[in-house]
Structure 1
Amino acid sequence: MDLQLTGRKAIVTGGTKGIGRAVVEGLAAEGVAVAFCARTEADVKEAEQAMRADGAEVIGSAVDVGDGAAVTAWVRAAAEQLGGVDIVVANVSALAIGESEENWRSSFEVDLMHTVRMVEAAMPHLERSDAASIIGISSVSGREIDFAAGPYGVMKASIVHYLQGLAHQLAAKGIRANTVSPGNTYFDGGVWQNIEQNSPDLFNEAMALNPTGRMGTPEETAYAVVMLASPRASRISGTNLVVDGALTRGVQL
């Protein structure tokens, strides 16, 4: 099926590894021009070069999304370089587990406010698009109480609330807004690999909760994002799409 994404323009945060990189690669494979950012310049350059070598039309930038002015400036520059924005994917998380004041602050600025600032900076361009789509990466920790209860879970839940609100507010303008909530996602250099190496008991406990017997891959979550970004998903807005291999047991009504 043609996802009708060829020629579209997207901005993605956290595009050098894990889910973010898989999203950039997935969109690019469908013919989308993608501007992405991440915090570390060396990682940005490596990812940009590798994806361009594979034929992707991508532009990488080093940005600390916890810096509000930097996020806004990046979105505006990316829109100018791309010639507009049709798709916004807010992916970065501070991954702040634990209820210290510093974790609350970083989770608020990085998880929630980078999403808000991205959307606000991109809005003039989204309003000119004929197939605008906003997607925030939340988490199953935002819909149930688990080991990440506290700053991480609270801010992930707030992203769902924020984007569902936007879906209603922007529906008349033809702008869709959704969230994707992954379960445990394993990749090299990711949080679960780190837990596996340093907290094997927690890793084994988490693994045992997965009825599929494994954790997810970044590509599996990226598929959901690319699908929601597609104009084919024109009737899907205000949805929190859970991608967890039946990990969570709560009924989503």
Structure 2
Amino acid sequence: MIYNKMNKYNWKGYDFIGTVPEFAEKFGYCKTPTFVNAVKRVPRHKYNCMDEMEQRAYEEKRKRAKRAYCIYMNEEMTDSYIVTKEEYLATNLPIKEKLHEPFLLSYRNRVLPYNFIGNSHDEISIRSAMVKYSAEAVKFAEQLLLAAGYFNGSNSVKKPLVKINYTSLYLTYANGISITFDSERSRDGVDNCRLSIIDFNGERIYNGWRRLNSVDEILYYTTINKDSKDASCYLGG
């Protein structure tokens, strides 16, 4: 087929000069319509920390995403080129949809209680107090790690391995996160409950030298995950 009216390009890495349809016919795998953002995408942890009004405003702007057209060079659909609509329609490749999971948000700025009281009928109240403490600590940690970008909000979060050692709690996650919560024994349970340490694959990302009781307060001193994915549903290419 001849494409006299279309631009020819020098396709670096393929040692080929020709139009998009000619290039796709020789090297392409599939094609699909997609979107590119009309607004700048924000990192996941920033999106998580927006309040409801800010999230709504961002989502409205994101709806102005622009239509785009892609050809893909491999089955994994990781190597791609954005082409014009005319070039896309003239390209003889199978259409294969590339799915992008929407980012689901469940962030809350939780507050970690100062103390937990054990069951009154227990001979040693600290044991039941620590069980209550551990349940709340897991919920608190999930929100903090979501906000810091160590959890993906579109996937279910696996529960950590929880170990109780007197007045300390140790949470260990499959993704390399380990968290230490501390407290002090009181007459009817534990008090001065606090998040002390967060490690990620052996690296310290939070060191709680003082008691901070909310997710947002601790997040300010926590190292954010640099590999955190964008919050946008519309990923070009």
TM class, shorter-chain normalised?
under 0.3
Give the TM-score, by structure 1 length: 0.24
Greater fraction strand: 2
Give the TM-score, by structure 2 length: 0.25
Q: Which has the larger radius of gyration?
A: 2
Instruction: Tell me: higher relative CO, structure 1 or 2? Use CA pairs within 8 A at least 6 residues apart.
Output: 2
Greater fraction helix: 1
